[in-house]
Amino acid sequence: MTPEQLAAAIRAALADLVAAGEFDLEVPETLRVERPRQAGHGDWSTNVAMQLAKTAGMPPRDFAGKLAGALEQVAGIAAVEVAGPGFINITLDAASAGELARTIVEAGAAYGQGTSEAGRVVNLEYISANPTGPLHIGHTRWAALGDAMVRLLRAAGAEVAAEYYINDAGGQVAKLGGSVLAKLRGEAAPEGGYDGEYVDGLAEQVRAGRPDILDLPADEALQAAWDVAYPIQLAAIKQTLADFNVAFDVWFSEKGLHDAGAVEQAVARLREQGHVFDQDGAIWLRTTDFTDDKDRVLIRANGVPTYFAADAAYYLSKKDRGFDEKIYLLGADHHGYIGRLKAIAACAGDDPEHNIEVKIGQLVNIAGERMGKRRGNALYMDELIEWIGPDALRYSLARYPSDSPLSLDGEEMRRQTNDNPVFYVQYAHARTSNVARLAAEDGVHREDGFDPSLLTDPTEAALLAVLGDFPRVTAQAASLLEPHRVARYLENLAAHFHKWYDTCRVRPMNADEPVTDLHRTRLWLNDATRTVLANGLGLLGVSAPERM
């Protein structure tokens, strides 16, 4: 019996009690069962009695007692207990609980997916670093979290586009082009420019691509340096993200906004909404009408659009492309953007409480032996991937809430011990794969038998209960955009699996012991665990190795 089937059984019992006149209420369309917080309180728990008792006009414990009596008659339920103010704790019989192993194996990669976020159409923008240098340690955190959020939302049924906004207009041209030219001329980088080994490499490629660049007039040389260096640097960013198992559906060019006249069109549309005004020769957006701390300039008095104007045009572009929800993942120094982006949404006629969400990530520091390998006073994503590995790096960054500052140890993240969470979880998956390989050598095959009533060991009941909780965890993680919930779940699952592995054997003890349905049924449970571990790691963009 899955948690969903149990919830349906509870609804049916409520409906029967209503029909019998025991309760006067409307049976809710959905209700939830959860794992009890304390061991020994059954396999599943529901607080439906406390939710409905007032409507039924009786104390919660009395309501719970009537419902418990009905549930005791349900096939597959071994025991029902009323606890505390009205919690109902439910214990399944072994056969009903064990049936979940077959359900999971047969569902395969689909187990854990659902429809809780179906109907949502989301644009999730993250990283969006300037294409003027390699991605650094801060971008690495958003890459791990943003990609995991996309995976979670899709697993929950949402339609999601992962988007990277390329800041390829305005001051970026002068900053990168000027830095490359300075390097070619043997000069110091201009104020606000860039330095480091990667600029040396870009300069050499620009020299090869435009050997005449130093003979060009200043403005032409600046543009030529950008024209050669920019696509090279953007390609490097894309390659780094590919190495980190991160893919974007859309690479959106800021320059494209300007070239298409979208900024001017945005100003006109916002003026039609009644929120644009003219003052001191400039064009303003009255964002203070929507809780922003000050009104914002869209077009300067000299006719040059501000970055804010491009932000407004970009928001409208997302809206025009059919994205009902726009989620922005921004760095720790972008708190000021929350009010202004929400104000843009409101000025565009959207609901800032629904149509836009801005999440701010906190700083991350990774210490260790390799911190000395730096270029231009920054630790870059490609260095982190090379040093720590994409799996350990992604998992470690995803297992903490985005709003918590992080200080991690690179060498600890690399260590292959049970104290390292990513190793602990991946090793559990590798162990399930090894069990399956060795079981096959001993003639234990799932298709030869399955008797879930044989899964009576306490470690088996505990492992099954954790496996059954996976769909709820993934749905909640998707709803809250909190990938760390999946990571912590996987660590708990791995702990229960290792304990079961130490207690119960899938293979015969020796060649003289016959293969029985107990061995086969335990293989189903082993393979169900492997399925859930792989599915959970996949939601985090982390591999599930079969050997370690």
- Please indicate whether residue 511 or residue 477 has the higher confidence score (pLDDT): 477
Task: List all residues 6 or more positions away from 306 whose beta carbon is below 8 Å from its beta carbon.
Answer: 296, 297, 298, 299, 300
pLDDT of 83 strictly over 70: yes
**H/E stretch holding 106:** helix 94-107
Model pTM? 0.90
Fold of the CATH domain 417-539? Isoleucyl-tRNA Synthetase; Domain 1 (1.10.730)
pLDDT tens, 515-538? 999 999 999 999 999 999 999 999
Domain regions of the chain by residue span? 3-92, 126-251+362-413, 417-539
Backbone angles phi, psi at 73, to 5 degrees: -90, -5
pLDDT tens, 307-352? 999 999 999 999 999 999 999 999 877 888 898 999 999 999 999 9
Fold of the CATH domain 126-251+362-413? Rossmann fold (3.40.50)
Q: How far apart are CA 83 and CA 65, in angstroms?
A: 10
Fold of the CATH domain 3-92? Gyrase A; domain 2 (3.30.1360)
Q: What is the pLDDT of residue 60?
A: 92
pLDDT of 173 strictly over 70: yes
Q: How many helices (H) and strands (E) does the chain have?
A: 20, 13
Portion of the chain with pLDDT greater than 90, in percent: 75
Q: What is the 3-state secondary structure (H, E, C) of 3-61?
A: HHHHHHHHHHHHHHHHHCCCCCCCCCCCCCCECCCCCCCCCEEECHHHHHHHHHCCCHH
User: Quick check: 129 and 334 in contact, CB under 8 A?
Assistant: no
What's the DSSP call for residue 446?
G
| Exposure string for 127-160, b = 16+ CB within 10 A, e = fewer | bbbbbbbbbbbbbbbbbbbbbbbbbbbbbbbbbb
Q: What is the pLDDT of residue 370?
A: 45
* CATH topology identical between 3-92 and 417-539: no
Backbone angles phi, psi at 7, to 5 degrees: -60, -40
User: Quick check: 487 and 421 in contact, CB under 8 A?
Assistant: yes
